[in-house]
Amino acid sequence: MPTTVTLGNGLQIGGDAFVVMAGPCAVESRELLLAAAEAVAASGAVVLRGGAFKPRTSPDSFQGLGPAGLDLLREASRATGLPVVTEVMDPRDVELVASSAAILQVGSRNMQNFPLLREVGRQRLPVLLKRGAAATLEELLLAAEYIRREGNSDVLLCERGVRAFDPSTRYLLDLGAVPALRQRTDLPIVVDPSHGTGDASLVPAMAKAALAAGADGLLIEVHVAPERALCDGRQALRPAAFAALMADLRRLAAALGRQWVRAEPRPAGAAPRSGAIPQGCLDDEVIAP
């Protein structure tokens, strides 16, 4: 029986429900983050993604804003009502990141960082564990077990593509991993088509394919000005493209008998939310093609 992971606001991931988490790859500025956060909330995403700490291949690349980025994520969360998923890279930073996040992300490069896995396992926040770029499914599941052995059973597995020989896409997005994992674990499964393809034009097709394959959710990059992005702009959807994709996903979810989870809308002109973040809502409405 599939398990569900429940966030602090009551939002459940897993089971029959389908959720979308979206936002920029990296927190770059207050202006860009708030604009992206409002856009993804308006289109129905239920979790805001954004990296304050960014592991980059080159030490000369943008590494994120660090603690200042966490402050901006908290502000965006209050403004939109969306809980935050953000990456933690260092065991020493886990408590700091946990103070701003609803979900702790362990990135691909850290899938086998065992001290980090143990430390996030000691937290009482859900963990989004990304598959390593050269990791087998068995290795991914064993990495998840490191977290669970520390007492934290709220783990989301994330397929984000593996290295392959063909440079046509950034990675090979292994959608076969979704049903294969379903046979081996009860943990919810999330797919990241943005990193998996590295090309915004390919993201909608692979996002819909992930839903059809049985994923419990998506992690999608959205940026209001991809040409200005300091990190992975090529794979980020603009807000209009994201809104169109969300409409397609909603129709597809209805056709597949999945429950579409949407954020509780704020009244027009309402002040930014403060305090507890409201629970997401199940939407059983069937949208006509």
Asked if residue 47 has pLDDT above 50, the reply is yes
Query: Would you put residue 82 in left (φ > 0), alpha (ψ -120 to 50) or beta?
Result: beta
3-state secondary structure of 263: coil
- Mean local confidence (pLDDT), 90-119: 97
pLDDT in tens, 129-172: 999 999 999 999 999 999 999 999 999 999 999 999 999 999 99
Maximum mean pLDDT: which of 56-65, 230-239, 247-256: 247-256
Q: Residue 21: its pLDDT value, please?
A: 98
Burial class (CB in 10 A: 0-12, 13-18, 19+), 276: exposed
Return the CATH fold of 4-283. Answer: TIM Barrel (3.20.20)
Q: Residue 56: its pLDDT value, please?
A: 72
pLDDT in tens, 12-22: 999 999 999 99
Percentage of the chain lying above the pLDDT 90 cut: 82
Q: How far is CA 168 from CA 16, 161, 171, 195, 214, in A?
A: 34, 13, 9, 13, 25
pLDDT band at 278 (very low <50, low <70, confident <90, very high): very low
pLDDT in tens, 199-226: 999 999 999 999 999 999 999 999 999 9
Work out the mean pLDDT of the chain and round it to a whole number. Answer: 90
The DSSP call for residue 198 is: S
User: How far apart (Å, rounded) are the C-alpha atoms in residues 96 and 86?
Assistant: 12
pLDDT band at 11 (very low <50, low <70, confident <90, very high): very high
Q: Residue 271: its pLDDT value, please?
A: 47
Lowest mean pLDDT among 2-6, 31-35, 181-185: 2-6
